[in-house]
Amino acid sequence: MKVERRCKILEKTVLADGAVSMTLEVGDMVRTSFKNPGQFVHVKCGEGLLLRRPISVCTCGEGDPSDLVRIVFEARGEGTAWLAARPAGHPVDVLGLLGNGFPMKKDGRYLLVGGGIGVPPMLGCAQFAGVKPTAILGFRSKEKVMLLDEFADVCEKVLPATDDGSFGYHGFVDALVRQELAENKEYDAVLACGPKPMLRNVAKAAEEFGVPCLVSMEERMGCGVGACLVCACDMADGSRKHVCKDGPVFDAKEVDWNA
Ligand SMILES: Cc1cc2nc3c(=O)[nH]c(=O)nc-3n(C[C@H](O)[C@H](O)[C@H](O)COP(=O)(O)OP(=O)(O)OC[C@H]3O[C@@H](n4cnc5c(N)ncnc54)[C@H](O)[C@@H]3O)c2cc1C
Ligand code: FES
Structural domain includes residue 130: yes
Q: Give the domain range for residue 143.
A: 110-216
68 and 92, same domain (yes or no): yes
Residue 242 lies in a domain: no
In this structure, the answer to whether residues 77 and 133 fall within a common structural domain is: no
Identity of the residue numbered 199? L
* pLDDT at residue number 229: 85
Looking at the fold, whether 183 and 131 belong to one and the same domain comes out as: yes
Pocket test for ligand 1, best of 55, 86, 139 (most atoms within 8 A of CB): 55
23-41 pLDDT tens trace: 999 999 999 999 999 999 9
Contact 233, 257 (CB under 8 A): no
What pLDDT does residue 145 have? 97
Most ligand 2 atoms within 8 A of CB, residue of 41, 217, 225, 250 to mutate: 225
Give the model's confidence band at 50: pLDDT under 50 very low, under 70 low, under 90 confident, else very high.
low
Ligand closest to Cα of 40 equals: 1
227 CA → ligand 2 middle, Å: 5
Tell me the average pLDDT of the chain: 95
Distance from the alpha carbon of residue 167 to the mean position of ligand 2, in angstroms: 38
Measure 4 CA to ligand 1 centroid, in angstroms.
20
Residue 102 in contact with residue 125, Cβ under 8 Å?
Answer: yes
The upper half-sphere exposure of residue 216, i.e. CA atoms within 13 Å in the direction of its Cβ, equals: 29
Residue with the bigger pLDDT between 3 and 253: it is 253
* Pocket lining: 51 vs ligand 2, CB cutoff 6 Å: no
Q: Is residue 226 part of a domain?
A: no
Ligand 2 pocket, 219 CB below 6 A?
A: no
Q: Which stretch of DSSP H or E encloses residue 205?
A: helix 196-208
Q: Which of 202, 195, 148, 154 is nearest to 179 (CA)?
A: 202
Does residue 244's CB lie within 6 angstroms of at least one atom of ligand 2? yes
Spacing, Cα 107 to ligand 2 middle (Å) = 33
Residue 123 banded pLDDT, cuts 50, 70, 90:
very high
Within a domain: residue 9?
Answer: yes
Tell me whether residue 65 is in a domain: yes
If asked whether residues 122 and 42 sit together in one domain, one would say: no
- Between the CA of 150 and the centroid of ligand 1 the distance, in Å, is 24
Give me the amino acid identity at 190.
Answer: V
- Which residue's C-alpha comes closest to atom 3 of ligand 2? 226
The number of distinct structural domains making up the chain is 2
Bridge-based pairing state of the strands 240-242 and 232-234? antiparallel
Asked which of 31-35, 46-50, 110-114, 245-249 is least confident by mean pLDDT, the reply is: 46-50
Residue 1 pLDDT more than 90?
no
Q: Which ligand 1 atom lies nearest to the CA of residue 121?
A: 8
pTM for this prediction: 0.95
Burial class from Cβ neighbours inside 10 Å (0-12, 13-18, 19+) for residue 67 reads: buried
Q: Which of 172, 38, 26 is nearest to 100 (CA)?
A: 38
Please say whether the beta carbons of 174 and 159 come within 8 A: no
Report pLDDT digits (tens) over 136-172: 999 999 999 999 999 999 999 999 999 999 999 999 9
Asked if pLDDT for residue 254 goes beyond 70, the answer is: yes
**Residue nearest to ligand 1 atom 6, measured at CA:** 55
User: Domain check: are 125 and 206 in the same one?
Assistant: yes
Asked if 118 and 212 sit in the same domain, the reply is yes
In a domain, 194, yes or no: yes
Q: Are residues 80 and 129 in the same domain?
A: no
157 plus 201 within the same structural domain: yes
